[in-house]
C-alpha cells in the first residue's frame, strides 16, 4: 500500500513535534486544512 500525502504529512508532523515544536504547530494547521477539504491528487 502506497502511503498517501496526508499520511506522509502526519508522519512529518509527529517527527517535527519532537525536533521543532514551532514547525509542528504549522504542520498541524496544514494537515487539518487538508483533512477538512477534498484530498489533493496532485502536488
Q: Express each pLDDT in 32-42 by its tens digit.
A: 776 665 555 54
Residue of 3 and 8 predicted with greater confidence? 8
Answer whether 0.75 is exceeded by the pTM. Answer: no
The pLDDT tens digits for 14-24 are 776 677 777 76
Query: Which H/E stretch holds residue 40?
Result: none
Contact 7, 25 (CB under 8 A): no
What 8-state DSSP symbol labels residue 9?
H
Q: Is the pLDDT of residue 7 over 80?
A: yes
pLDDT, residue 35, reads 65
Q: Is the pLDDT of residue 25 over 60?
A: yes
Amino acid at each position: 500500500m502506497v502511503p498517501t500525502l496526508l499520511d506522509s504529512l502526519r508522519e512529518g508532523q509527529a517527527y517535527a513535534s519532537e525536533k521543532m515544536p514551532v514547525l509542528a504547530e504549522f504542520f498541524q494547521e496544514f494537515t487539518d486544512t487538508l483533512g477538512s477539504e477534498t484530498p489533493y491528487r496532485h502536488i
